[in-house]
Amino acid sequence: MSTTALGISSYYHDSAAAVVEGGHIVAAAQQERFSRNRHDAGFPALAVASCLAEAGRKLDDVDVIAYYEDPRLKFSRVLATYLATAPRAWSSFRHSMPEWLGWKLRTLGVVRDELARLDLGAVPPIRRFRHHESHAASAFLPSPYESAAVLCVDGVGEWATTTLWHGRDRRVEPLRELRFPHSLGLLYSAFTYFCGFKVDSGEYKLMGLAPYGRPVYAPLIREKLVDIRPDGSFRLDTRYFEFLYGQVMTGRRFAELFGGPRREPEGPLTEREFDLAASVQLVTEEIMVNLAAAAREHTGERHLCLAGGVALNCVANGKLVESGLFDEIWVQPAAGDAGGALGAALLAANGPRAHLGSGGDGMQGARLGPGYDDDRIQVYLDAQTLPYRRLATDELRSTVAGLLADGKVVGWFQGRMEFGPRALGGRSILGDARNAEMQSTMNLKIKFRESFRPFAPIVLAGHTTEYFDLRQDSPYMLIVAQVAERRRLRQAGTEHLRGLDLLRVRRSQIPAVTHVDHSARVQTVAQDTDPHLHGLLTEFHARTGCPVLVNTSFNVRGEPIVATPEDAYRCFMRTDIDALAIGSFLLLKSDQPPWHEDTDWRGRIPLD
């Protein structure tokens, strides 16, 4: 008889829940989508309830609760760090110890109490797994490979910051590890902080900023901050960092090294920030390629699986693909701490990997959250007396493709919600990649975010190589590739441009998704994974000759991706989105009643 496991990650960032029956992933979701608090770190009560509802289960039906890390082992690292850095870390120690001694040491008991409060039945036994063990399981067990090398790279778990595993059958076997404070994730976060972005949130902004600069600081980073070794390992010179001592990442010594104080959040971006981003990105790519080479050497495998927060660095993932070290790589779409809930549940359930027989992965396109059928959507629309048209599937696709071809922006709310930080066609905003104005329109009038941030393309899987230099599928938008040479445009007299002036140049036939270095964060769309989105792309291709669209998450800056029809309509009306395709229903902005809110909603959403 198969085991049903409920996985939970909580109390750091991106709390989540997942239900696994045997080896089959039934549901997974992040707490932020329901609480509407981005990166919500609290107990994922709403996510647990949602996942159990999707599974048609109560706690009485669950065999085991799987927690994603070992709190006591984590405390040993926290305490050892304070002892090693005393008395300098006294302020941080005084701030954090009451919390650890008050409840964090008994986290599993707190989890049990929170589950009992849900009144969904008796709470089953709780098992804890190690943080990187959960990451490794999330990377390998749902992957499409019978065996593979597995790399987990993040800030820190209990002690581990980087681990190498060998995945075979239903097991992940640990081979090597690097320990705190020597952390690639913390190195990248230090530069994120120094460039004025939020740690554990703004790292993707730093990655997007890198192509605007030149890696002039890379030699200094290698000389002073990180010793990169031939065996794939590395060591940080902790004298330049503050994360050992308190609540910030860098201080005076780091600032002196890079010519002045950190950029203030929301302050103007200068050439220094562009160059710092380019430099740490290059060093990160070098370290990741070295780690991958060590993984290949130690396992002899032809496939590589990735998880941990650094695995969300899709530019580095692209460099791994380009390196040719492995025939193919597969990245867990919820590679950060949210995915730990899934990995722990998979470990506890220990079921067969039945998806291997299909030739695909076990993530079901990452569409593991709640969905809304047409009946539930119509109840909401009618209750609000909103004007809409209900269309047959083919008519909806045709109409939306026509709107997109005419330069309109469309909210696309279809099927189950995605698990992980990317919108993959369930909760997406779509636009025409050929439209040179689309990038600025979406950034400034819809997402209300910084102008430098790029957008990602979705492309029909059978047409990928016509537009991108990518030699494998990328279904989860986690690999960056170059736009194909034949799709690029040449503009004379632009060589002198630097920084944000680079945005003025039209670089390709799909300018809305071509970054300033001709790169793109590609999502390939296959018929068997998402037939509805594939059908829309096919219709758009038939109309325009272009199999590529812009795909960005259905939210505004600082807000979690929309989860419900109500969330979707609110975002639709707050922004310059022209149309909303929600289930079988199409709503046009021009038909909607005026939108009123008592206060400025942007003041209520904290900036990311």
What is each CA distance from 27 to 4, 353, 430, in whole angstroms? 12, 16, 25
Report the SS3 class of residue 573.
helix
Tokens 């945005």 correspond to 503
Amino acid in position 240: Y
Residue 13 is a catalytic residue: yes
d(C-alpha 44, C-alpha 29), whole Å: 9
**Are 190 and 241 contacting, i.e. CB atoms less than 8 angstroms apart?**
yes
List 13, 132, 166, 182, catalytic entry: 13
How long is the chain? 608
d(C-alpha 550, C-alpha 407), whole Å: 11
The DSSP line for 107-156 is: HHHHHHHHHHHTTSS----EEE--HHHHHHHHHHTTSS-SEEEEEEE-S-
d(C-alpha 133, C-alpha 425), whole Å: 30
d(C-alpha 502, C-alpha 498), whole Å: 6
d(C-alpha 108, C-alpha 128), whole Å: 8
Residues with Cβ within 8 Å of residue 512, at least 6 apart in sequence: 431, 432, 433, 434, 435, 436, 438, 439, 442, 455, 550
Report the SS3 class of residue 545.
coil
d(C-alpha 89, C-alpha 75), whole Å: 16
CB-CB neighbours of 98 under 10 Å: 10
d(C-alpha 262, C-alpha 260), whole Å: 7
Residue 259 Rama label (left phi>0; alpha psi -120 to 50; beta): left
Question: Using CB atoms within 10 A of its CB, is residue 381 exposed (0-12), middle (13-18) or buried (19+)?
Answer: buried
**Are 280 and 209 contacting, i.e. CB atoms less than 8 angstroms apart?**
no
d(C-alpha 476, C-alpha 260), whole Å: 38
d(C-alpha 573, C-alpha 596), whole Å: 9
Tokens representing 350 are: 């220990």
Closest C-alpha to 577, from 554, 605, 595: 554
**Are 280 and 191 contacting, i.e. CB atoms less than 8 angstroms apart?**
yes
The separation between CA 59 and the C-alpha centre of its own chain, rounded to angstroms, equals 29
The separation between CA 547 and the C-alpha centre of its own chain, rounded to angstroms, equals 24
d(C-alpha 186, C-alpha 181), whole Å: 8
Closest C-alpha to 548, from 498, 487, 604: 487
Tokens representing 293 are: 């080479």
Tokens representing 462 are: 């059978």
**Vertex 189, ends 202 and 363: CA angle to 5°?**
65
Q: Are strands 171-179 and 160-168 parallel, antiparallel or unpaired?
A: antiparallel
The catalytic site residues sit at: 13
